[in-house]
Structure 1
């Protein structure tokens, strides 16, 4: 008897294997929402669930990178604005 969990259908698809480093914040966030939804629905094999969890972790890190970068830019802009204001 063949074990169906070893079938290619249980493997993550090519888009799921794509690098997250090139994703915009919105793309990463939207895909993360989809991954979480799929995990919450249940019914996935253990292997598929682990792959989804790993992908979700990578997407969450990418979102955090974007947010930290945005915060750094805002902090720099505020610092520049306060420097301009203090010299006037």
Structure 2
């Protein structure tokens, strides 16, 4: 039982690390852009990368589906607010 919990914890840590890496890549790309028109082309790539990372986790842990979809929605809303305001 403890081994299973340790394995699940490590998988969660790996997932968080992967999401942080994607966010860092997004931030670097966003910093390089100077106009809103350039930024609009980056958003879909970031969303796609985030969705792929979520699918990797969800494919092995269906119990995390709701959590991951909520995370995707929150990040998407934060991105939209960043460009609207």
Q: TM-score, normalised on structure 1?
A: 0.42
Greater RCO (Cα-Cα under 8 Å, separation 6 or more): 1
Bigger-Rg structure (1/2) = 1
Q: TM-score, normalised on structure 2?
A: 0.43
